[in-house]
Structures are given as C-alpha cells and as structure tokens.
Structure 1
Amino acid sequence: MTKVAIIGAGQAGLSVSWYLGRAGIDHVVLEAATPVHAWADSRWDNFTLVTPNWHCRLPGYHYDGPDPDGFMTRDEVVQWLAGWLDTFAPPVRTHTRVTKLRPAPDGGFELTLHTATGEETLSCEHAVVATGGYPLPVTPPFASALDPSITQIHSEQYRNADQLPDGAVLVVGTGQSGAQIAEDLHLAGRRVHLAVGNAPRVARFYRGRDCMTWLSDMGLYDRAAGEYTGGKAAIEKTNHYVTGRDGGRDIDLRQFAVEGMRLYGTLDDGKDTTLRFAPTLRAALDHADAVYNSICADIDAHIDATGVDAGPPSRYTPVWEPENEATTLDLAAEGVTSIVWAIGYRPDYRWIEASAFDGAGRPMQNRGITTVPGLSFIGLPWMHTWGSGRFLGIDRDARHIATTIVADYDDSLLRLAAGH
C-alpha cells in the first residue's frame, strides 16, 4: 500500500509532492496526461498571466527573471514550470487516469486506474485530489438548438482568431477569459459581439504601481476566506477582468464599444439563429466600474494610512453609455459564424465515492482537509485565501496539506514508540 496518492500533476499536486519528498513520505503522483500540461494545452496563443511575475512562487522556486512586475506569456510560463521540474524528481506516473476513488473497508482508499495497458487498482492511506477546481466546461442547454452552421467552442478550446471561420464572432461571458478573448479577436480585426456578464473589473496600474501589488501589500491575498465581508457569496464572485498583454493594461468594455464592438446584456436563450438577451448591459457596466473605483479608493486609504509615496489619485469616467440596449441578435443577419462560450466550468467529482461534497458537488473542506479521514484537496479557488488556486498561494496551501499528512505519520510513530 502506498502511503499517499496525489491525483493530478499540475503545479498544486506537484507542490504537495515536493514537501512530501523532503519529508521522506512514500507517495505517488497520478497524472492522466503529463505534468503541468494544461498550461500548454488549454491557453490561447496570446495568453499572458494577469498577475505580476513576482507572484509566481512554488516550493523551492520563484520567478527571478528580469521583469518581476511584468506578465509572462503562456510559453514563458511553460518554460518557467519546466525549470521548476528540473529542480526535483517527483514520482509521477503519467497517462494514468484515476476513474474511481473510494474508502477501503479497513481504512485508506482504493483507486481504480486506467492506464495504457488496462485497468489496475492502487491502495493508499491518504489521497490528495489535485485535479483542479472546476474541470468541466459549461455551455448553456440551448446551445444544441442553435443553427448547426454556427461553429461553437468553449474558451478552453480557443487558440487564436484564425481557427474560427471568417465572419463575426460572438463571445459569451466577460470573466477573465471571456474579456481577454474578446480583446484578442478585436485586436485581430474580427467583428466581435460580446454578451456581458456580471464580472467586476480592476485597474491594471494605479498611482504608479500594479493594483495587484497594492492589494498584496494590503494583505488581501493573505486574508482567510471566512474573514471577508459578505461571507461565501462574496468570495464566490467572478474574478475581476484585466490583462497582462503588451505589458499590462485595463480592459475597458466601453472603449471596445467606441471602437465598434457590439455589447449586450446576459444571454438568456436562443434557437436557430436568434438569440435573446436580458436588458442588463448598463447595470453590468456600471457595476464593473463601481468595483474598479472602489478598489482604487481602498488603495487610496492604504496610501493615506501608511504614507507611501505614490502618484495622484484618480477615478474612471465612462467613455461610452448604451443608449438602447439590444435584446435580440440575428446571427445570420449580422454575419456571426462562430460563438465562444466563456461562461465558466463546473465541478465533476462523480468518480469520488465519499461523503465530502455539498449539494452543488463542491468539496466541503477546511484549508483542503475534509472530514473524511485521509482525504484532502489542493488547488481550489478560495480553498483558504484569495491566493489559493493561484501561484501566489499554492506553496502555503501545499505546505499545510503536506504538514497535516506528515504529522499523521509522526503521531503514529510516537504512539508506536510509546507502546500504544
């Protein structure tokens, strides 16, 4: 029996492996593809980080390049992670998919593995699930009712404008991926229609520094989830949209509209070539800008309280207002030939047979530890802090998970030594 099985060889799972290896704990990392493959396989060509490079910290390794306040491209992230993997030798079994995890009758867990040579089983005392927060891409139920001549892809499949057929493109969703993909298509000269969701936005730079550097100095990335005003609803909101492209800048949907992008409210329904939208555009834009300005105000308060030398304060003023919100779109009439769905992902833990999930299928955990003995999670958004699920918080989260596991074995050794 293996002491610990880590399921998933992304940066989160490998970080736990790094700590377990240093502690001399027998373990294996089970990966359905290859280590950290998602960075190369699931990001578009012009992808960049939205967090500054100095946020990139993993166990025993951190960004030490020439541009700590810049934003690595997809290929640079892949190269940086390859450099980290060269610093240690995690016991990874590649092309090994875990299709079932269930508690064993005598304690621990039984895992069913699908490999190139068939199925096999593996027993372990601890299981760390590191498969990512929400692996299943979401598309709306009515997507199948749309005209089959319309090309439909999810944001995780998007690579560049040239992969889509000629014609206009509808991007649905304005979280980080949707907003950046809309910009990517816009810069490529494509006619873009954008269904705007309720995501907030943030200034890229404010008063001489990156906003995320200010927020880090203010301790927001270290504050535990339970300490946030508004509770669970507050921390489950969509992340703020911004970009690191070309050295970093704001994403201003109103400016896109000035430049010819067509904006709509929330997409409610559709059939054949007709789509219907809720009249929520004005409210969504106003909300995003209000959050933008409120973050600037919080930074102002921090600067006033600490006396940090900084540039003058400012506020965003809208450059465009929707006059008459369009609530329908005829795809054929507008020459829209493709849709990019950027409305998120949902969890899929059906392969885990354990009472560790809430009614929405999300893990019930405290800093990754569940009430099921030996079962833990890593790499979830807001698992402990805002930094969880990001490069900035992975090291701390992995250290906590690994320390909990190591302490379990240390306690066992102490009890054994005491004759208990």
Structure 2
Amino acid sequence: MKSHVPVVVIGGGQAGLSVSWYLGRAGVEHLVVEADTAVHAWADKRWDNFTLVTPNWHCKLPGYTYDGPDPDGFMTRDQVVEWLHGWLETFEPPLVEHTKVTRLQRLSGDRFELTLDGPDGMRSVTCDQAVIATGGYPLPVVPPFASSLDPAVHQVHSEEYFNPEQLPDGSVLVVGSGQSGTQIAEDLHLAGRQVHLAIGNAPRVARFYRGRDCMTWLSDMGLYDTPTQEYPGGRAAQEKTNHYVTGRDGGRDIDLRRFATEGMKLYGVLTDGKDAELRFAPTLTAALDRADAVYNSICGDIDRHIEKLGIEAPEASRYEPVWAPEVDPTELDLAAEGVTSIIWAIGYRPDYRWIEASAFDGGGRPMQTRGITEVPGLSFIGLPWMHTWGSGRFLGIDRDARYVAEHVVESVCDGRARLVVAQ
C-alpha cells in the first residue's frame, strides 16, 4: 500500500466497488478500503429466509446484469451473495479488506489524510479524491428505554436476526413495520411463533397488480428514474419508510390485517417501557388505514398509466380490509403475554463523525448533489435518494457510480480526460 493514492474509495460494498469498476476502466489509480470483506453485509446481516423485494431484473451492476431463469422472481439471500461474487470474478478491484478508516481529515493543498486500522496496525494514507461508500445509515437504532426493560427478555436488532431457532422459546415482539420488520414478523409467524408487532407509519404496496409486479409497473412509469428534486411529495416523500411487501415464495402482499385474523397481535407506535410493561400510542387503526390508502393509491396510479397508454391488462381492483381493531391497544405486559424476545426493526442512523469536513447538515446527513459535495475531492455513493428513488438499490447503482466516477476522473485528470466505457 502506497503512502499516497490519487483516489480512495471507502467501503467495499456493491456501490463502492461499482465506482472502482469505472475507475479501473479509466486507468485511474485508486484503492478500495473495506472494514470487513467485500459485499459481506448480504451474507452477514440478512436473515436466513431473506429475499429481495425488487424483481431480479432490477439487479444491474457495471458490466453485469441478472441473466438467470427467473427475471421476474426474487433472489434469496444466498442467491444474491452468489450473484455478487459472480460479478466480482469479472474484474480485479484494488481492494484492501479487514481495514477500517477511522479518520478522514482534510489537509492543506486539497488533499485528504486517512487513518487506517488494519491487520498490521495503524497507518496513514493521503489521497486527492475520497469517495465515501459506507452506506447511508450504518448505525442500528435502539430506543433509549431498551436498557430499562426486564433483562430476562432477549433483545436483538433486526440485522442480528437470522431465524426463529436463535430466539428463546416464547412469544416475540417485533418493533417496526418497515420492510425488515414486517418480513421478520412474517418469518416468525410462518414458523408458528406468537408474534406481537408494533407498527409505525410505513406504507405498503401490492406485490402484483393487473397482471404484473407493481415495481415493474412503477419502473415503466419512470418513478425510479425521477430526480429527487422533481419527485412528487418532495422531501416528505423521501423521508418515508419504504413500502412493505415480500418476495418470499415467489412474491406476495404483506397484509397485517390478515396476520391479525391468524393470531398476530398488532399495536401502534411503541412509546415507552420499563421492566415488563410497554406503552403504545393509540395509532394502530390510523396506521393500518394509511398503509392501505397508499396501497390503493399506487394501484390507482397504475390504472391511469394503463389507461393513458391503452395497455391491455386484467381488470382494476382495490384492497378491502379483512380485519380492523376494536380498540387501539396502549399497553403490553411482556411477562403476562409470555414475550421472551424483542426484535428492534426501527432503522438506522448516519454516523460520519470520522469525517472531518464541512459536508453535513444539522442531522448529520451529507449535503450532496448526485453524490458530489461542495468540499473539493469529497463525494458519496450508495445513499438512499442520492439522485433518484432507485439510488441505493441495484437498479440505480450503476448510473450513480458512473456519474461519480466521471466527476472523479475529470478532477484527477484536471479535465483533460473523460470516462469512456463501452456499455
């Protein structure tokens, strides 16, 4: 490892490695630094029955697309890992693994100094361009009152959950109704565990509608390609949790109301707790109604798209609730209900404290335009909504990586070279 490298990409996931793919083809000397191993999160932070929620044809990386037998299906965790390793066999990124960047400091003369902690100890490397590819929200969130709950209750974050067998016998409380929370609740429910689910404001979407996957319709409608500044709903829409749905067993809706008819117990937002007593806001009815309204609204958008283009498709329909709570529950006695485990699925938060540069807003999020910041030489890749709704997903990574790489190549070459890659 040299003491100076023109470009350092920090993070060896699919986003950082996509930038590396383009830099390599442009002949730009660079280094990719990964704290663990390449694309390790797919194998290490997904539960055993995990599947993609986007169709396989969405899976596109530089020089590599899904070409398997089921483009409209949903790869399992292990299939995604195999697919990604197949991509890594198509090129040789200058990757250093098991090495963490603990500090990035801007020096005079428009250079950065990186402090690296690896197998051989601490060392420093300087670079002209730093591309941050560590993910948008690396720190799992657990509420402050979690430590005051009964220590006999086993607590894990969603990224630590793999299967029902790892949990003690008894009922399980899942907190959070985003994609991970609802799918983990389903996983436990299908395994025969008594599940309690505290839901928030996450919307939902139909898996299939009028003969096609909803996400295929939305892609055709341009929703994944619309720039953030033009997206309907603006910042408020971008801050919402992604719609919950599943690709399990070929794909289907996640209908929490149906789960309730089968014995799952639903609650509103968890607000507080101590020992074995938990308290919830009376928001369950409104949350279910709101999720269903979004579901039907998306179906309506698809209907208008079909009508506008004169597409032949099965008849339109709308979701009708199969269950409604008689009253919104506000309390749960963990001991009385036999709850022995809690799975926190309430998301992640950003953590860029190791970067010493004025590139962040008051909430600690990068201030960037398509990954490029106002700090010369500092850029980001792999952020949710970095450019479009597709950013951060397989569908949008290639486009985002190419844009960032083009900027880096022009900067390193003082504008004398442009990225030219055969598509």
Assess same fold via TM > 0.5: yes
Task: Please report how far the alpha carbon of residue 230 of structure 1 lies from its aligned counterpart in structure 2 after TM superposition.
Answer: 2.5
Instruction: Please point out which of 33, 36, 44 is paired with 2:39.
Output: 36
Among 70, 73, 87, the alignment partner of 1:70 is 73
Counterpart mapping for 1:310-329 below 5 A: 310-329=313-332
Which residue, 152, 155, 160 being the options, matches 2:158? 155
Aligned twin of 1:222: 225
Match of 2:15 in 1: 12
Which blocks of at least 5 consecutive residues in structure 1 are unaligned?
415-420
Among all aligned residue pairs of Structure 1 and Structure 2, give the percentage whose two residues are the same amino acid.
74
Alignment of structure 1 residues 198-277 onto 2, 5 Å: 198-277=201-280
Q: 1:80 and 2:62 equivalent? A: no
User: In structure 2, what is the Cα distance between the partners aligned to 1:412 and 1:328?
Assistant: 62
Q: Name which of 126, 129, 137 aligns with 1:134.
A: 137
Alignment match, 2:421: none
Q: Confirm or deny: 8 A CA contact 2:105 2:357 kept in the other structure.
A: yes
Q: SS at 1:411's partner residue?
A: coil
Residue identity opposite 1:74 in structure 2? R
Aligned length: 414
Which SS does the other structure have where 1:100 is aligned?
strand
Q: Counterparts of 1:18-417 in structure 2 under 5 Å? A: 18-413=21-416
Distance 2:7 2:185 in 1: 42
Q: Which amino acid aligns with 1:58?
A: L
1:377 partner amino acid: F
| SS of residue matched to 2:396 | helix
SS state at 2:356 partner: coil
Q: What is the CA–CA distance in structure 1 between the aligned matches of 2:415 and 2:293, rounded to whole Å?
A: 54
The answer to whether the 8 A contact 2:128-2:412 is kept is no
Displacement of 1:66 in angstroms is 0.1
For residues 18-71 of structure 1, give each alpha carbon's deviation from its aligned partner in whole angstroms, at most 9, with x where no partner exists: 000000000000001110000000000000000000000000000000000000
Amino acid at match of 1:91: P
Q: Is 67-76 or 306-315 further displaced after alignment?
A: 306-315
What residue identity is the alignment partner of 1:148? P
- Paired with 2:333 and 2:411, the residues of 1 have a C-alpha distance of 61
Q: For the Cα contact (< 8 Å) 2:285–2:325, is it kept in 1?
A: yes
Deviation at 1:309, TM superposition (A): 1.4
**What is the alpha-carbon distance in structure 2 between the residues aligned to residue 250 and residue 292 of structure 1?**
10
Q: Which amino acid aligns with 2:284?
A: L
Tell me the distance in 2 between the aligned counterparts of 1:255 and 1:373.
Answer: 53
Shift of 1:175: 0.1
* Deviations 1:58-101, CA, capped at 9 Å, x for gaps: 00000000000000000000000000000000000011100000
Instruction: Give the Cα–Cα distance (whole angstroms) in 2 for the partners of residues 7 and 94 of structure 1.
Output: 11
Counterpart for residue 418 of structure 1: none
Task: Using structure 2 for the length normalisation, give the TM-score.
Answer: 0.97
Deviations 1:178-224 (A, max 9, x none): 00000000000000000011000000000000000000000000000
- Give the conservation status (yes or no) of the 8 Å contact 2:199–2:267: yes
Residue 372 (structure 1) shift: 0.3
Q: How many angstroms does 1:370 deviate by?
A: 0.3
Displacement over 6 Å in runs of 4+: none
- Counterpart Cα distance in 2 of 1:378 and 1:406: 15
CA distance in 1, matches of 2:234, 2:199: 25
Distance (Å, rounded) in 1 between the aligned partners of 2:162 and 2:295: 29
Give the Cα separation in 1 of the matches to 2:13 and 2:145: 33
What does the per-residue CA deviation read over 1:136-184, in whole Å, with 9 as the maximum and x for residues that have no partner?
0000010000000000000000000000000000000000000000000
- Could you list the runs of 5+ residues in structure 2 that have no partner in the other structure? 418-423
Shift of residue 242 of structure 1? Answer: 0.1
SS class of match (1:180)? helix
Task: Indicate the larger mover: 307-316 or 66-75.
Answer: 307-316
Q: How far, CA to CA, are the matches of 2:400 and 2:233 in structure 1?
A: 23
CA distance in 1, matches of 2:121, 2:413: 36
Residue in 1 aligned with 2:420?
A: none
- Using the alignment, how far apart are the partners of 1:412 and 1:220 within structure 2? 33
Match of 1:393, SS state, is: helix
Counterpart amino acid of residue 173 in structure 1: G
Q: CA deviation at 1:413?
A: 4.3
Residue identity in the other structure for 1:52: P
